[in-house]
Structure 1
Amino acid sequence: MQLLLGLLSLLAPGSAALEPISLGIAIGAASALTGYFSYPSFYCGFVECCPGEAERPNATALKEDLNNKLFGQHLAKDVILKAVTGFSNNPNPKKPLVLSLHGWGGTGKNFVSQIIAKNIHKAGQKSKFVHLFIATLHFPHAHQVSLYKDQLHKWIRGNVSACARSVFIFDEMDKLHPGLIDAIKPFLDYYEQIDGVSYRRAIFIFLSNAGGDLINKVTLDFWRSGKDREQIQLKDLEPVLSVAVFNNKNSGLWHSSLIDRNLIDYFVPFLPLEYKHVKMCIKAEIQSQGKEIDEAFVDKVANEMTYFPKDEKIYSDKGCKMVQDRLFFSWER
């Protein structure tokens, strides 16, 4: 692109005079490059482009990412894999894909949203087609909810107009002002177009701690009854989770029309992580730092984490959220 601009600059008024043969070469090179850049595949090798109809996520790659990087979340892995690949391979979806991820901090919700984004757009959350909203950062003031609603309308419309496969991630939904998220309800509904724009190819992901206590209780009840956590099925959690979130004033989806209208496709529960899962997180982080794994050291770091309930101490109360900090602290000592 710089070469093309440089060659064209030679033809601009005020440029130094060129011999006829040099001028001919410059025009020829500029014409050739302009032709190359008219082909999308060539142009998109230099500039990020919105994926076309033929460009769909690789189900195998998504499955590998979930299996190798997400620990202790059999429900989330299964739901995310089927939902994202099924939606992406559907030639005519009737509405956008809407996922609501719930669970305590450190269980992998944010991590999964990054995995989804990366499998839709190669640059992941750095992509200009992936948009992250953080409740406390982007919508801090309750008295400005009307302004935020207007801004959301314009932001989503503008970005979906630019790329139908845009991904929108709303973090800290449990801190979002009640009623604000309903502003995007028209974009999630079963409309073919709204003012000439189709939103059916977009993906919306909500991240929330709301419902975490309920998820933890169900998981603990399974453990106390001698059942394996992998026996927990989506039907054991999703119905009660949606009701709990709808009735929770601190959920961001309190009395939301998104739930009333069944516009959220999946409520995805993230289970509390056990000691063995924390160790998996520690090992993965050590490997990402290019260091060798020492089992005794891994045990030491895992034992420094805190667990609940008070008597059984089965689940990490912060999931894997503090693993990196604990590791660097231990390495510095």
Structure 2
Amino acid sequence: MKAKHLSLLLHVFLISGVLVNAFDPITTTVVIGCGATLGRFLYTYLHESCDPKWIAFNATGLKTDLESKLIGQHVASRIILKAVTGFMSNSNPKKPLVLSLHGWTGTGKNFVSQLIAENIYKEGMDSSFVHVFTSELHFPHASQLETYKSQLQQWIKGNVTNCAQSMFIFDEMDQMHPGLIDSIKPYLDYYDKLDGVSYRRAIFIFLSNAGGDSIVQKALDFWRGGQNREEIELRDLETDLSLSVFNNKKSGLWHTSLIDKNLVDFFVPFLPLEYRHVVQCAMAEMQAAGMQPDKRTAEQLAGDLVYFPKADRVFSVKGCKTIASKLDYYT
């Protein structure tokens, strides 16, 4: 739709430029003025800005997406919906929203971040107000820790100054150098302003595999006890999860003041996915690829993955992470 509008606007703009040569000087001045106005309009129309035209929370859209697209994560789905909806509905939050998403790879952590962004920013993950940091790319060398701390502070301050409703996603937190994330603690705290900048309307999301083992163990306990996984509640996981992350020396959240000072609003557990969930993932990937979903093919693909424990084959070790890349082989 945007491309169609752009084509039309450019067409009008070009016509106005051609007409300049056909008019007398007075008319030419008028047309040039119109061209300049049109140019400003084009810039405003196409250039993303920090206002309701580009940033508008769609609570219904997020609810629908979580219910229909996020597979096998009833606990995470409920937490995310309540946390984001409550925060975005508050015109004067006391602090930024801080979510820490934990679980094995392929369980939907990155996907949820994408769904949140798509229902807040018109441009979704492509928005200039959504910022993704990964350990290997942005903070690769332990010897540069102090430099990274300073850079990270400046990046966040500069982007929030530019747009108060900025989102920051930190991927691979389990690979981040311990102590680095503490450098942004002041921005996550209950301050009205810091050096004239308010961070209260920003969103911070941490993604990590740390704590995944404790989540899997709880899910396994429920399975062995003959309990339905849908009976698992946040209270069954939250305490063990936060302690596991806090005491994990391989986690970027190891002994962090963010946890010690209770600045993380929610530790969101992502449960390991079972065979039936992987089948659903395969069906969804087929549909997304423009193919006719075929359950028999999806079941074959799901059956060839590695599961844990080996004897019982309960949970997919890689969740749904490799489904898209394997699809061509099976279809």
Give the structure-1-normalised TM-score: 0.90
Q: Distance in 2 between matches of 1:5 and 1:260?
A: 58
1:21 aligned partner, one-letter code = I
Q: Relative to structure 2, which stretch is displaced further, 272-281 or 62-71?
A: 62-71
**Which residue of the partner structure matches residue 34 of structure 2?**
29
Matched-pair contact (CA < 8 Å) for 1:56–1:89? no
Secondary structure at the aligned position of 1:45 is classed as: helix
Q: Distance in 2 between matches of 1:45 and 1:29?
A: 16
**What do residues 21-44 of structure 1 show as CA deviations (whole Å, max 9, x unaligned)?**
33243255147547x74xxxx865
Q: Distance in 1 between matches of 2:122 and 2:54?
A: 15
Secondary structure at the aligned position of 2:197 is classed as: coil
Matched-pair contact (CA < 8 Å) for 2:246–2:254? yes
Secondary structure at the aligned position of 2:46 is classed as: coil
Deviation for aligned residue 1:20? 2.5
Secondary structure at the aligned position of 2:263 is classed as: coil
Shift of the 70–44 alpha-carbon distance from structure 1 to 2, 3 Å rule, reads farther
Deviation for aligned residue 1:45? 2.9
Deviation for aligned residue 1:46? 1.7
Q: Relative to structure 2, which stretch is displaced further, 214-223 or 322-331?
A: 322-331
> Gapped runs of 5+ residues in structure 1?
none
Q: Distance in 1 between matches of 2:109 and 2:55?
A: 26
Instruction: Please show how residues 102-251 of structure 1 align to structure 2 within 5 Å.
Output: 102-251=102-251
| Alignment coverage as a number of residue pairs | 322
**Which residue of the partner structure matches residue 19 of structure 1?**
24
Matched-pair contact (CA < 8 Å) for 1:56–1:88? no
Deviation for aligned residue 1:16? 8.8
Deviation for aligned residue 1:3? 8.5
Matched-pair contact (CA < 8 Å) for 1:103–1:215? yes
Q: Distance in 2 between matches of 1:277 and 1:45?
A: 42
Q: Relative to structure 2, which stretch is displaced further, 189-198 or 21-30?
A: 21-30
Matched-pair contact (CA < 8 Å) for 1:51–1:165? no
Q: Distance in 2 between matches of 1:157 and 1:256?
A: 20
Deviation for aligned residue 1:18? 7.1
Q: Distance in 2 between matches of 1:142 and 1:8?
A: 57
Q: Distance in 1 between matches of 2:303 and 2:21?
A: 73
Secondary structure at the aligned position of 1:120 is classed as: coil
Question: Runs of 4+ in structure 1 displaced over 6 angstroms?
Answer: 1-10, 15-18
Deviation for aligned residue 1:56? 3.5
State yes or no: 1:78 paired with 2:78: yes
State yes or no: 1:316 paired with 2:321: no
User: CA RMSD, aligned part only?
Assistant: 2.5
Shift of the 127–216 alpha-carbon distance from structure 1 to 2, 3 Å rule, reads same
1:248 aligned partner, one-letter code = N
Deviation for aligned residue 1:51? 3.4
Q: Distance in 1 between matches of 2:91 and 2:267?
A: 24
Q: Distance in 1 between matches of 2:82 and 2:272?
A: 22
Matched-pair contact (CA < 8 Å) for 1:219–1:272? yes
Shift of the 9–54 alpha-carbon distance from structure 1 to 2, 3 Å rule, reads closer
Q: Relative to structure 2, which stretch is displaced further, 62-71 or 25-34?
A: 25-34
Deviation for aligned residue 1:106? 0.3
Matched-pair contact (CA < 8 Å) for 2:216–2:272? yes
Q: Distance in 2 between matches of 1:246 and 1:279?
A: 34
Q: Distance in 1 between matches of 2:13 and 2:197?
A: 34
**What do residues 290-328 of structure 1 show as CA deviations (whole Å, max 9, x unaligned)?**
111222212111111111112211110100001112211
Deviation for aligned residue 1:17? 11
> Gapped runs of 5+ residues in structure 2?
1-8
Instruction: Please show how residues 282-301 of structure 1 align to structure 2 within 5 Å.
Output: 282-301=282-301
Q: Relative to structure 2, which stretch is displaced further, 47-56 or 301-310?
A: 47-56
Q: Distance in 2 between matches of 1:148 and 1:248?
A: 22
